[in-house]
Chains A and B, each alone.
Chain A
């Protein structure tokens, strides 16, 4: 843990910013690990449920029968918005620093929805249930870039700007058909 106290301000009664950070990391296990490995490799994977449905992100146990699931399958990195919520004032550490949508996205080949941000250049009128969106990936990390340069305090990926094995290796989704 670290804590940073800023300079006090004010008159008789003092106030000061006080930030507390916990640099947690967690082990993923093989199933979530496969999803995170896919993020780093620039693909999205789910897992075959007991009834053959594809669950994205993959779960370790079937949500209906509770049996262990093992068959990781690749799905598309584009899909359909099934529902969404507009964010007028993004918070620090959210994926975008301008107004955007949190959306449930039914990826091609998936039978469940993935939550992610959709960037429409701040234009809410572009958002619609049923619209097609595709992932905007961070670039792959070049072989000569150190993977451990970051102290591990940043939210999301490691701030390197490259894919590291994190949900924010997808910077966001964007309407399909937007030119690169």
Chain B
């Protein structure tokens, strides 16, 4: 591209080279019946998944149907507040809007009694000690702050048990 020629009024001033063009999407999210029931249970400090009548897998959070078999899931299954780290990510990049200090660890956690992991934070352990198979437990926010949101669990932390065998979470590794 050839150079542009500028009028006198723009010569010798610092040029603008970039502009901000933020985009914002303003939604109202409707959770639906299955997720709403799950979140109401969370507000009562309970983690309740649902079992597929065909493949018998327990989904958490339940979506009301089995994505593999395409049938409604109607059997509620109460889950433990402990689980196994199947996979994790050490976050080293601060992004806009985050409240976390870096580095921090996001992990997939297979709650005991379930067949699909949930995503949550691992805290109270140095980030470089988090590993697959690590046994963790939920740390809830104070009772007066608990509500129908997964943020009612502040984070997970190691619960001191020996690592789970790979066999126990291999389907989710």
Establish whether residues A68 and B1, one from each chain, have CB atoms under 8 Å apart when the complex forms: yes
Establish whether residues A43 and B10, one from each chain, have CB atoms under 8 Å apart when the complex forms: yes
Max count, chain B CB within 10 A of own CB: residue among A13, A20, A70, A151: A13
A interface secondary structure, majority: mixed
Establish whether residues B96 and A23, one from each chain, have CB atoms under 8 Å apart when the complex forms: yes
Complexed CA–CA distance, A16 and B147 (Å): 13
Establish whether residues A151 and B9, one from each chain, have CB atoms under 8 Å apart when the complex forms: no
- Which of B7, B25, B29, B97 touches A73 (beta carbons < 8 Å)? B7
B39 within 8 A of A: yes
Establish whether residues A153 and B29, one from each chain, have CB atoms under 8 Å apart when the complex forms: no
Question: Chain A contacts of B31 at CB under 8 A?
Answer: 8, 13-16
Contact with B along A4-23 (1 / 0, CB 8 A): 11011000111111111111
CB distance from A75 to the nearest CB of B (A): 10
Report the stretch among B16-24, B114-122, B135-143 that lies at the interface: B16-24
Question: Chain B contacts of A29 at CB under 8 A?
Answer: 1
- B35 and chain A: residue at smallest CB distance: A14
A155 within 8 A of B: yes
B15 within 8 A of A: yes
Establish whether residues B4 and A30, one from each chain, have CB atoms under 8 Å apart when the complex forms: yes
Max count, chain A CB within 10 A of own CB: residue among B7, B16, B147: B16
Question: Chain A contacts of B149 at CB under 8 A?
Answer: 5, 7-8
Residues of A in contact with B (beta carbons under 8 Å apart): 1-5, 7-8, 12-31, 33-34, 36-41, 43, 45, 47, 60, 68, 70-74, 92-93, 151-155, 158, 165-166
